[in-house]
């Protein structure tokens, strides 16, 4: 398996109130936590924003498609670059277990309750492009259509509000 990791970081952080990717957890921006979770990948990209030292992909086919626009960009980039799979993590789910990639296997699979933490074969690229082209945006609907397995990775953080970040910093 040749694995491309993608941090999905193109959201507008409406519920959070400020740029989530830059929010500090344990003194480091959340995007750095997400990048670290992908350290087992052959290469890593960030979808939906620029980040120093990491190749950036614009959402595909355009902005404002939600996280699937970033995943679509990563799947197509992976296909073009000869990767076989994409591992995805959202910018707001720090603290993944060190063996999460192994648990998801060769996919399609995702973390139970967190469908954006996933392992996606590049063969899914055309289907995701068609899904988005039909006007659909719901992550759960696309994931269900892939037949992805839901894997229990234990309790996972999801920092949607500043209060979630405050609680995570107190642990």
What's the pLDDT tens digit per position in 44-93? 999 999 999 999 999 999 988 989 999 999 999 999 999 999 999 999 98
Listed range (58-67, 113-122, 151-160, 162-171) with the worst mean pLDDT: 162-171
Query: Is 66 within 8 Å of 132 (Cβ atoms)?
Result: no
Average of pLDDT values for 105-118? 96
Query: Is 74 within 8 Å of 45 (Cβ atoms)?
Result: yes
Model confidence at 11, pLDDT cuts 50, 70, 90, reads: low
How does DSSP assign 115-158, residue by residue?
EEEEEEEGGGHHHHHHHHHTT---HHHHHHHHTPEEE---S---
Query: Is 89 within 8 Å of 37 (Cβ atoms)?
Result: yes
- The string of pLDDT tens digits covering residues 20-54 is 887 887 899 999 999 999 999 999 999 999 999 99
Query: Is 97 within 8 Å of 146 (Cβ atoms)?
Result: no
pLDDT of residue 24: 85
pLDDT of residue 143: 97
pLDDT of residue 64: 86
Q: Give the DSSP H or E segment for 74.
A: helix 67-81
pLDDT of residue 51: 94
In the chain, what are the domains? 3-166 (3.90.550.10)
pLDDT of residue 110: 98
Residue 120 CA to residue 108 CA, distance in Å, equals 5
Nearest to 2 by CA among 96, 72, 106: 106
Model confidence at 19, pLDDT cuts 50, 70, 90, reads: confident
């Amino acid at each position: 398996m040749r694995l491309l990791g993608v941090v999905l970081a193109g959201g507008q952080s409406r519920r959070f109130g400020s740029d989530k990717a830059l929010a500090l957890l344990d003194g480091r921006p959340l995007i750095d936590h997400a990048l670290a979770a992908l350290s087992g990948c052959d290469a890593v990209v960030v979808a939906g924003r620029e980040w120093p030292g990491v190749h950036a992909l614009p959402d595909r086919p355009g902005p404002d498609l939600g996280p699937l626009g970033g995943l679509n960009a990563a799947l197509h980039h992976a296909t073009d670059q000869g990767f076989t799979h994409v591992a995805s993590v959202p910018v707001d789910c720090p603290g993944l277990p060190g063996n999460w990639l192994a648990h998801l296997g060769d996919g399609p699979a995702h973390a139970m309750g967190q469908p954006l933490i996933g392992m996606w074969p590049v063969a899914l690229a055309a289907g995701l492009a068609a899904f988005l082209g039909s006007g659909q945006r719901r992550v759960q609907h696309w994931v269900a259509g892939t037949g992805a397995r839901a894997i229990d990775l234990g309790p996972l953080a999801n920092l949607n509000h500043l209060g979630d970040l405050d609680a995570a910093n107190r642990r």
